[in-house]
Amino acid sequence: MEYDPGLVRIRQCAIEDAAGPSFPPIEFQAEQEAAHPVLQKRVCVVRVRLAPLPWLTINEVKKIADFIKNKVPCNPKIGIVCGSGLGVIGDRIRNGVYIKYEDIPGFLVSTVVGHRGALLIGDLNGVEVVCMLGRFHFYEGYPTWKCALPIRVMRFLGVETVIVTNAAGSVNPTYRVGDVMLLKDHLFLPSICGGLNPLIGPNDDKLGVRFPSLTTAYDKKLREIALETAEALGLRESFHEGVYVMNSGPAFETIAELNFLRSAGADAVGMSTLPEVVTARHCGLRVLAFSLITNECIMEYDSDKPHPTQEEVIETAEAKQEQISDFVFHLVSGMNKEALAC
């Protein structure tokens, strides 16, 4: 060991795992420690270890997209996220190639009933799409940024617009089970109350700005196309535009919570979608999102109405599968025409 008389200082500093751009937690570990023979001060050699960042860098996300492109050469412009029981949307995709999530290095795996756990890339009504047959939820134990990782992967696959779907309970008393609500706004409770915004962490300016605006998160033109599509299919009466609220789940809401959410402006409640929407807007993707109303939320005490269950959610989604997949089939074509005309 070497000493520098008169100074007590770090003589050697090894930096390992310096993977990311900013504020990673740092661990100090004294490797050798000894008393200086003359100064009688303690001198130590420390090893500084930067703990690996929990977030993925752009390059790491690109690597996932490159892996997919190498497996399935593709150029999708529209990405689709299928909500609970809505994987049937993928059944209309022609010449589709499946990649199981578990086969994609760095990806996540679906753990919930009604989410098949695969990417499907192919042709939907003349438009090349990448479709997530199953999504990731915060209540599965994934942090919100990870729930939204596939959105960034889609962005690096070349996607410009995402259609994000979900199953939700109605808080608006005029909605009926089986209706569809296009999201025109949202209440991201885990973010505003729990600090669980998916953009927390280092921001890479090459991907998006540090403080994105969400004032126009839900593209007006895309909502118009969706309503026109519903009209053309004779479904307009069961379509609404409303405010989606995300509860972290997995427990459904209490009656008091539901009344609170209604008074705060919510029309439908679910446990997903918003990490994906926020992440999509951050990286410049246009968003259309909709909820299939799978159950009526119970807003009064001593009600005889059935309690919400996952089974009811899946049953309703299955009953509406054909209608929803038909709607999305025609919707992507309308969206594509609009994009080409821009």
Pick the closer one to ligand R1P by CB: 72 or 132. 132
Answer whether 130's CB lies under 8 Å from 76's CB. yes
Task: By CB under 6 A, tell whether 76 contacts ligand R1P.
Answer: no
Rounded least distance, CB 308 to ligand GUN, Å: 4
Q: Is 120 helix (H, G, I), strand (E, B) or coil?
A: strand
Rounded least distance, CB 85 to ligand R1P, Å: 7
C-alpha distances (whole Å) from 22 to each of 2, 55, 60, 76, 201 are 32, 11, 16, 32, 9
Pick the closer one to ligand GUN by CB: 151 or 266. 266
Backbone dihedral region of 158: left (phi > 0), alpha (psi from -120 to 50 degrees) or beta?
left
Residue 276's binding partner among ligand R1P, ligand GUN, none (Cβ under 5 to 8 angstroms by kind) is none
Rounded least distance, CB 83 to ligand R1P, Å: 3
Q: Return the residue of 20, 270, 275, 334 that touches ligand R1P, per CB under 6 A.
A: 270
Structure tokens at 81: 């996220």
What is the DSSP code string of 233-293?
Answer: TT-GGGEEEEEEEE---SSPPPHHHHHHHHHTT-SEEESSSHHHHHHHHHTT-EEEEEEEE
Structure tokens at 172: 């608006």
Contact set for ligand R1P, span 305-334 (CB under 6 A): 310, 313
Residue 130's binding partner among ligand GUN, ligand R1P, none (Cβ under 5 to 8 angstroms by kind) is none
Within 10 Å of residue 49's Cβ, how many Cβ atoms?
17
Residue 269's binding partner among ligand R1P, ligand GUN, none (Cβ under 5 to 8 angstroms by kind) is ligand GUN
Q: Is 156 helix (H, G, I), strand (E, B) or coil?
A: helix
DSSP strand pairing (13-16 vs 26-35) = unpaired
Pick the closer one to ligand R1P by CB: 180 or 313. 313
Residue 310's binding partner among ligand GUN, ligand R1P, none (Cβ under 5 to 8 angstroms by kind) is ligand R1P
Residue 169's binding partner among ligand GUN, ligand R1P, none (Cβ under 5 to 8 angstroms by kind) is ligand GUN
Rounded least distance, CB 174 to ligand R1P, Å: 21
Cα separation, 321 vs 315, in Å, equals 10
Cα separation, 335 vs 160, in Å, equals 11
Task: By CB under 6 A, tell whether 87 contacts ligand R1P.
Answer: no
Task: By CB under 6 A, tell whether 131 contacts ligand R1P.
Answer: no
Q: Return residues touching ligand GUN (CB under 6 A).
A: 167-169, 247, 249, 252-253, 269-271, 294-295, 297, 308, 313
Site of interaction with ligand R1P (CB under 6 A): 83-84, 112, 135, 137, 166-167, 249, 270-273, 310, 313
